[in-house]
Amino acid sequence: MNDFILEACVETLGQAEYALLHGAHQLEVCSHLEADGLTPDITLLEKLDPDHHLPVKPMIRCRAGDFNYTADELTIMVASVEEIRSRCRVIGFVFGALTVDEDGHLQPDLKAVRAISEAARGIPLTFHKAIDLCTDLPHAVRQLVGIPDVRYILSSGGARTAAEGAEMLSKMQLAAGSSIDIIAAGKVTRQNVEELAAITGLTMFHGRQIV
């Protein structure tokens, strides 16, 4: 496991402590995981001091539902990034937004991603599993390669689980080249990480039960 980065998805201080004790390397911190994760309360982030816990990446998502955000919603999320950046020590932000192209296909909302990137001021971004709704995943990856500070993409390869999407995950990493690391997600556990790594060639893995 020494060559892998294990990212635990948590929403409480207790879950973070458990992840620390059981071998996680970093945390994605959310609220409302039953809604696939929303922006966490900043007081929780302030408690997750990296001097005592693990490197933290907060989710930036102002509501449940789809990932097509209005200008007002994007303003709210930009403000969340700015507040967190000013008050907390984080190693990244997790964000995803989609738009519909002229052919009616979902693709990354590059304008929204750039707005969050600018607010983050050099702190790396992870584009989250919203990407799995895109019509052409390798193309979506190539679009994100051109945005400064997008360093990671969280994905199950468009499938229900990372194991089912393993072939696509490999194709996505090929499309990303050395600019972006694909993080495998979707029913990833400590028990199947090594098999997923062997199939996909990936080194970063994410899950609620990864440790």
| Per-residue pLDDT at 1 | 52
pLDDT at 189 over 90: yes
Confidence class for position 153, pLDDT limits 50, 70, 90: very high
pLDDT at 89 over 60: yes
pLDDT at 3 over 90: no
Residues 27-64 pLDDT 10s: 999 999 999 999 999 999 999 876 767 899 999 999 99
pLDDT at 200 over 90: yes
**How many Å apart are CA 45 and CA 56, to the nearest integer?**
8
To the nearest whole percent, how much of the chain has pLDDT over 90? 91
What value does the mean pLDDT take over residues 173-180? 97
Angle made by CA atoms 48, 10, 78, in degrees to the nearest 5 = 70
How far apart, in Å, are the Cα atoms of 103 and each of 13, 35, 140, 146?
A: 44, 29, 15, 22
At a CB cut-off of 8 Å and minimum separation 6, what does 179 contact? Answer: 145, 151
| Per-residue pLDDT at 117 | 97
| Per-residue pLDDT at 62 | 98
Output the DSSP codes for 53-80. S--EEEB--SSSS-S---HHHHHHHHHH
| Per-residue pLDDT at 53 | 74
Domain parsing of the chain, residue ranges: 5-207
What value does the mean pLDDT take over residues 153-170? 98
User: If you average pLDDT over every residue of the chain, what do you get?
Assistant: 95
Runs of H (alpha helix) within 88-185: 110-120, 137-145, 166-176
pLDDT at 126 over 80: yes
| Per-residue pLDDT at 49 | 75
Second-level CATH architecture of 5-207: Alpha-Beta Barrel (3.20)
| Per-residue pLDDT at 2 | 58
